Amino acid sequence: MRNKKLGTIFLVFFLLGLGFILFVPGKLSLQENRSLPPERIAPDSAAPVKDVMNPKIEYALGKLLDTYRTQGADRVRDFAAKRNIKLVGDRVRVVAESRYSKTTLKMLPTTLKIWPEAAVLKSQIQALGGTVEMTYNNLVQGWVPISSLEMLSLNPLVRYVRRPLRPHTTGIITSEGVQATGADLWQNLNPYRPKGGGVNVCILDLGFNGYQSLLGSELPASVTVKSFRADGDITGGGEVHGTACAEIVHDMAPNANLWLVNFDTDVEQHEAVDYIYNQGIYVVSYSLGWWNAGDGKGTGPIDRDVERAANGGAVWVSAAGNDALSHFEGAFNDPDNDQWYEFPDGSEFLSWWVPANEVTGAYLNWDDWGSWNNVSYRGSDQDYDLYLYYSSGGAWHLAETSADPQTGFQWPTEAIDGFSINRSTWWGIRIRKANATRNCKMEVFVAGNSEAINNNVPAGSLVAPADSGSAVAVGAVDWSDDSRTPYHTYSSQGPTHDNRIKPDFSAPARVSTSTYTTLGYWFSGTSAATPHMAGAIALLKEKTPYSLEQVIKILEGRAVDLGDPGKDNIYGSGRVSLKKK
């Protein structure tokens, strides 16, 4: 009797346990171990095979074309949504780079430089059923039918067909920084022999949603607004980031004239800088950053824009980036000769933890950019590929591959972004040496990680164009108290890849703005720090007769030195201050 009772109890507990395992799998067997990433690869992800792709078409676009041909239009939309590729109907947004045989026509009184190939490309895109949004030098941005991508790439004038590059915002969050920097002490001071009229500051950003409602209160009563987006949308699709940045510039320098200029792609930014060049802008506040857009030595098309603005008399204040905890770099290392990079911790995976529904991805570049000729890089013949995995059931599963074939003219970059799943888990990348004769130095930026990535290397985590020699790069510190540890650990660090000290300054972050406070956020990140610096420059320029170079020198002298004595790769010259020293 007693044995029967024990048997019944055992049976009940067994059935309850089995049911729990079967019906709530995510709570037990599939729950990821947060302390450690997986060590094994799922069988179906063990040996990813590199597809043979058209080298003149970016890998993601090639896969889109392949999906279009083999799986039809519905699956193309799924694929495009997953890979963050913009589609309208069956047309995809691309940038076609022509070969750069710039022709110079000397027509007095001016010299006209034209890219004849770009003009031909424009006609061809239209002939293929596409539309052209804009051209800039050798770049033609437009919408091309997916089915015509191959045809477009076959044109000998085409160097490369890619998605438009897009910057990312460098933070979210308002401003106690005015008092912290001492800007309030200067605001009511009568100017002493200021040169020129008012100080013109351009906030170059992705979007200025809601700026109209702030005119005359959080922003000046009137501002100049200009959109370089192909669709002319100054809100940038509802983006408030630029509005919050403009608020801080106005908080710091209330008399500055503000230009709110937005764009969405690299080509549009080049156009915007042409415009800025002719507007008598003194200061450009740029709270954006780019991954995979240059060699980290101050060259590349985005850095070139900074130089052009500087040639027009503007100082470009650039966010250092929020990537100190999501950055890795190191020379390719493969002790077991299996072509897979072995990271410093001995794993072939670079892994990071991602909260549920957070969008994640990774950007890889290596030091084989070739020479920079002010238009593009010569390109890379060292081919490495990038593989993105997610963890499930204690094993790695392949999510996506980026395998552009670097055959001599493509950039040394691979990127996979726009992935998310509805539970927190580990994500990881592997890097494969596909066809390379030397072990290049790899650099990885990760998006979406909630804490430092494994094998994290904070040094050298600057984004473009903060690495430009013409940019004033700004890191983030807490506004509240210099005596505590003010460094915001996410704030990107120097040096540049050619060993220059960056950032140049640090400035307050985690501050209040009307824009973000109403949404329930502080404004944090180097995005918030940058307009404080831009505002400080504008305020000193407005109140004094100093040149911009002298203003920067004075601010260097007044900066509150933090960290190592002197200028360093975390705080630059220190936290910006206008107070008497």
Contact status: 198 vs other proteins (CB under 8 A): no
**Angstrom distance (rounded) from CA 104 to CA 99:** 15
Spatial neighbors of 344 by CB under 8 A, at least 6 apart, are 330, 333, 455
Q: How far apart are the first and last CA of the chain?
A: 91
**Angstrom distance (rounded) from CA 392 to CA 100:** 47
Contact status: 389 vs other proteins (CB under 8 A): no
Please say which residue, 26 or 196, places its beta carbon nearer to other proteins. Answer: 196
Contact status: 254 vs other proteins (CB under 8 A): no
- Which region among 100-108, 253-261, 311-319, 541-549 touches other proteins (by CB under 8 A)? 541-549
59, 186, 263, 384: residue in contact with other proteins (rule CB under 8 A): 186
Contact status: 567 vs other proteins (CB under 8 A): no
179, 213, 518, 547: residue in contact with other proteins (rule CB under 8 A): 547
Which tokens hold the place of 457?
A: 């290397």
**Angstrom distance (rounded) from CA 305 to CA 183:** 29
Query: What backbone phi and psi angles, to 5 degrees, belong to 213?
Result: -70, -15
- Which region among 87-95, 155-163, 282-290, 549-557 touches other proteins (by CB under 8 A)? 549-557
Please say which residue, 274 or 556, places its beta carbon nearer to other proteins. Answer: 556
**Angstrom distance (rounded) from CA 135 to CA 201:** 26
Helix, strand, coil % (nearest 5) of the chain? 25, 25, 45
185, 215, 356, 359: residue in contact with other proteins (rule CB under 8 A): 185
Where do runs of H (alpha helix) occur along 197-286? 241-252, 266-277
Contact status: 548 vs other proteins (CB under 8 A): no
User: Do 505 and 475 form a contact (C-beta atoms < 8 A)?
Assistant: yes
Please say which residue, 35 or 188, places its beta carbon nearer to other proteins. Answer: 188
Please say which residue, 283 or 388, places its beta carbon nearer to other proteins. Answer: 283
Q: How far is the CB of 255 from other proteins (least distance, A)?
A: 15
Give the CA count within 13 Å in the CB-facing half-sphere of 449: 28
Contact status: 179 vs other proteins (CB under 8 A): no
Contact status: 561 vs other proteins (CB under 8 A): no
77, 554, 561, 563: residue in contact with other proteins (rule CB under 8 A): 554
Please say which residue, 191 or 394, places its beta carbon nearer to other proteins. Answer: 191
- Which region among 85-93, 262-270, 408-416, 553-561 touches other proteins (by CB under 8 A)? 553-561
Residue 342, helix vs strand vs coil: coil
Q: How far is the CB of 311 from other proteins (least distance, A)?
A: 23
Contact status: 545 vs other proteins (CB under 8 A): yes
Spatial neighbors of 430 by CB under 8 A, at least 6 apart, are 340, 341, 348, 349, 350, 386, 387, 389
Contact status: 192 vs other proteins (CB under 8 A): yes
Contact status: 573 vs other proteins (CB under 8 A): no
**Angstrom distance (rounded) from CA 163 to CA 94:** 5
- Which region among 74-82, 167-175, 466-474, 543-551 touches other proteins (by CB under 8 A)? 543-551
287, 496, 527, 544: residue in contact with other proteins (rule CB under 8 A): 544
User: Do 488 and 323 form a contact (C-beta atoms < 8 A)?
Assistant: no
User: Do 173 and 516 form a contact (C-beta atoms < 8 A)?
Assistant: yes
398, exposed or middle or buried, with CB in 10 Å at 0-12, 13-18, 19+?
Answer: middle
- Which region among 372-380, 397-405, 408-416, 554-562 touches other proteins (by CB under 8 A)? 554-562
2, 5, 106, 193: residue in contact with other proteins (rule CB under 8 A): 193
274, 342, 556, 561: residue in contact with other proteins (rule CB under 8 A): 556
DSSP per residue over 456-501, as a string? Answer: ---TT-PPBTTT-TTEEEEEEEESS-TTS--B-TTS-----TT---
Please say which residue, 275 or 546, places its beta carbon nearer to other proteins. Answer: 546
Q: How far is the CB of 186 from other proteins (least distance, A)?
A: 7
Q: At what angle do helices 73-82 and 59-71 cross, to 10 degrees?
A: 150
Q: How far is the CB of 403 from other proteins (least distance, A)?
A: 52
User: Do 485 and 476 form a contact (C-beta atoms < 8 A)?
Assistant: no
13, 499, 550, 564: residue in contact with other proteins (rule CB under 8 A): 550
Q: How far is the CB of 559 from other proteins (least distance, A)?
A: 10
Contact status: 241 vs other proteins (CB under 8 A): no
Q: How far is the CB of 196 from other proteins (least distance, A)?
A: 11
558, 569, 572, 576: residue in contact with other proteins (rule CB under 8 A): 558
Please say which residue, 5 or 193, places its beta carbon nearer to other proteins. Answer: 193
Which tokens hold the place of 361?
A: 């991805």
The binding site for other proteins (CB under 8 A) comprises 185-186, 189-194, 544-547, 550, 553-554, 556-558, 578-581
